[in-house]
Amino acid sequence: MEFDYLPDAALQQKVNELTGNVSADIKIKIDSISLKYMDSGTGTIYFNTEYLLEAAKSAGEIKDFHEKLSSLLSEMANGLIVQCTAKLKAALPAWCLLKDERSAAQPVLAWMHWVFYVAAADHDDSNIKHIANSFISRLDDNGLTDASIIEGLHFYPSIGNSLVIYTDPGLVSNKHFGALEGMVGYLNCNWLAMSEMDKKLFYQINELSRNNHILKLKDLEIKYNLIHDTFEQITLFKSI
């Protein structure tokens, strides 16, 4: 399920104010926003943005700008997530919604994953690796891995940030970019779904262990059914 959101002037003004609090030399133009919901109950919100630099900036400065901006954008993102999730719940029949004893809680942003796109005229491998190391932190001694299978495009997936470097200008707005974004979003949703299921099951089992000797039979049955529902969700998730 997907919602496409066209940013209006008020939203763009709010983004301008947020970015102005972080840097006077970097502006962000929001081209579009979309929310995608997965069967697991998790989802992604995509901000497709364009950067306007009023002064030359290094890759490290741009990365630092994003890290500071992330916390400021979270509040705005949460408002859109709550708004669109309410519309989705209102449109779907009850049997389509996941059962959750904490369903009254509002959905919130778990984390942000930035995908940087860099156009490079230089095809030299050493220059490509230098750009990659400037944007993406090394996870181990083996360094970064180019996961792309498309000529003229380099893809460096990582935790928190990923990087796309393209040396072929014909790839701009190409379907390959959409495929990469979809894959990154899908993986993040899977990580979040597994984390939430693990926490939920841990909470349910521990709560039952603490209170099973004082619960009435009817309440005990309700708790067991909730654990059973969580196991069913985990089984379904593992099957797909």
Q: Which residues pair with 117 in a beta bridge?
A: 164
Six token digits for residue 104:
């009254």
Total-model pTM: 0.69
What are 28-84's pLDDT values in tens digits?
888 888 888 887 778 888 888 888 888 888 877 887 888 788 877 887 888 888 888
Q: Which long-range contacts (CB under 8 A, 24 or more apart) does 210-218 make?
A: none
What are 113-139's pLDDT values in tens digits?
888 888 877 667 777 777 787 777 665
Residue 144 DSSP SS3: coil
- 168 by Cβ neighbours in 10 Å (0-12 / 13-18 / 19+) ranks as middle
What does the DSSP 8-state code read for residue 94? G
Task: Identify each DSSP E strand in the chain by its residue range.
Answer: 2-5, 26-37, 43-53, 114-119, 153-156, 161-166
